[in-house]
């Protein structure tokens, strides 16, 4: 992993078309601004992990008769 130090209002640029700017630093929270083409999908890592976990739960065996009558 590449590690860079940035101050408030400083940016990094990835691949010439994605810019990530440090907007605000407050305690252990950092607000990031992201400029990217509409085609780039950007997600908090925990959202993707949550979806993985939800899918694992969805794969658990169930009693199909519970679904009847709706």
Partner 1 sequence: MKINTKYFSEIEIADDDVYRFPEGIPGFENEKEFVIIYNEDKKSPFQWLQSVINSNLAFVAIDPFSIIPEYEVEVPDDEVEMLGIHDITDVSLLAIVVVPDDFSKISANLLAPIIMNTKNHLAKQITMNTNKYKIRQYIIDELRTRGGQD
Looking at the Cβ atoms of 4 and 61, the one nearer to partner 1 is 61
Looking at the Cβ atoms of 26 and 57, the one nearer to partner 1 is 57
Is residue 17 within 8 Å of 36, Cβ to Cβ?
yes
Q: Around Cβ 22, how many Cβ atoms within 10 Å?
A: 16
List of residues contacting partner 1 (CB under 8 A): 38-43, 47-48, 50-59, 61-62, 64, 66-70
Looking at the Cβ atoms of 10 and 49, the one nearer to partner 1 is 49
- Output the smallest distance, CB 20 to partner 1, in A: 16
Q: Residue 23 to residues 13, 37, 55, 64: CA-CA distances in angstroms?
A: 15, 19, 34, 50
């Amino acid at each position: 992993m590449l590690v860079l130090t940035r101050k408030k209002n400083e940016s990094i640029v990835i691949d010439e078309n994605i810019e990530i700017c440090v907007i605000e630093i407050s305690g252990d929270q950092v607000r990031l601004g992201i400029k990217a083409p509409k085609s780039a999908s950007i997600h908090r890592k925990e959202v993707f992990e949550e979806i993985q976990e939800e899918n694992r739960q969805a794969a658990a065996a169930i009693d199909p008769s519970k679904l009847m009558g709706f």
